[in-house]
Structure formats: C-alpha cells, structure tokens
Amino acid sequence: MAIGTGRLRFGADNGRMLLRTGRTGIGSTVGHDLTIEVTDWSVELDVPDTGPADATATARIELTSLAVREGTGGARPLSDKDRGEIENNARRTLDVGRHPTATFESTRVVTRDDHVTISGMLTLHGVTAPIDVEVREVTPGRYRATTVVTQSSYGIKPYSGLFGALKVRDDVAVKIEVGLGG
C-alpha cells in the first residue's frame, strides 16, 4: 500500500468511527449487539519525506460523543428510550466524568503490500496499553482502519444487566473509515 508524504488530518467531517459490541450471558437473547458511533474524534497522520516507516499518528476520541446507531438481535427493536439508556450506561461504564477523552500515539508504522500496521499506545479510562491498528485502502482514496479494544485491559468492567445474566463482551471492535481523496 503506497503512502504519500505530508500531514493529513481527518475525523468526523470526512469519516466515521464505529464501535461494535457483542453480548454474552444466559440473558443475551434479550440484549442487542450494538453499533455505536463516535461523533467527535480526530486523527493526525504525519508522513515525513523519509517515508512511512518514520510516520507518526495521533488520535483524540471524545467519549462523551457516543451515539447508538443500531441494535441487532434482542427480544425487541431498540426504542429511542433504549438508545438513551444505553448511551448513559456506556458513559457511566467508561467514567467519562473523570476520563472524557481517549488518546492514541503511534510508536511504530510497518507498511506491507496491501496494508499498514500502526502500533502505539491507547490511553482509555486512565490506563495506557499497547494496541495495533490495521489500515487498508478499500477503494482509491478511501481507507479503513480496524482494531479491537479489550475493555478489561484498560480497567473497564464491561456493562452487565439483569443481575449479571446479560453482559457486554469484553472485546469491542473499532472501525474507522475515511475518504482522503480530493
């Protein structure tokens, strides 16, 4: 995958960041697998003339901007009230009053023929841990970055309800899609 030099900035104005959660537990048939959009985020990618191996990436994610977009499965469709309750539960689980922002700082960029791996440190819920992000060009000028965030690695206890019978899975899939074409 070819990467040009220069500084790129992108975020919610030219892309989407989606979080996908799953459910587990004996009460999982009642709950929903969720798609949650982060509506306030930004990434800066700086690729110097020396090439992509020396590139840096930083990201800022405002956790107060979570919006439930879809819920699949479950005993009944999501209502607007359900969406609001889920968003409030997510903010409580993430303790956004104390930790409103997550950040990422790259430590290494490795390019391959068909993708780039950006390794770095994610700070979430006051805990910093390593994470890898895979980036692929899906169509000319359109890119998809994916990773998995394991909540417990950041001191987060995944949400549970119905006296523990319904739980959100520990792993949350993250997908970012951006268009960088003119």
Instruction: State the pLDDT confidence band at 42, using cuts at 50, 70 and 90.
Output: very high
Q: Are 168 and 159 in contact (CB under 8 A)?
A: yes
* Residue 52, CA atoms < 13 Å, CB-side half-sphere: 15
pLDDT of residue 77: 87
Q: Residue 76: which of 10, 32, 45, 140 has the closest Cα?
A: 32
Show Cβ contacts of residue 128 under 8 Å, excluding neighbours closer than 6 positions: 121, 122
pLDDT of residue 22: 86
pLDDT of residue 180: 75
pLDDT of residue 51: 80
Percent residues over pLDDT 70 in the chain:
92
Show Cβ contacts of residue 3 under 8 Å, excluding neighbours closer than 6 positions: 47, 52, 55, 111, 116
Given a cut of 60, is residue 182 above it in pLDDT?
A: no
Q: What is the pLDDT of residues 100-151, one digit of tens each?
A: 999 999 999 998 888 999 999 999 999 999 999 999 999 988 999 999 999 9
pLDDT of residue 3: 63
Q: Is 28 left (phi over 0), alpha (psi -120 to 50) or beta?
A: alpha
Q: What is the pLDDT of residues 81-102, one digit of tens each?
A: 989 999 999 999 999 999 999 9
Token reading at 44: 């800066």
Q: Are 10 and 181 in contact (CB under 8 A)?
A: no
Show Cβ contacts of residue 50 under 8 Å, excluding neighbours closer than 6 positions: none
Average pLDDT value over all residues in the chain = 90
Q: What is the pLDDT of residues 161-179, one digit of tens each?
A: 766 567 888 999 999 999 8
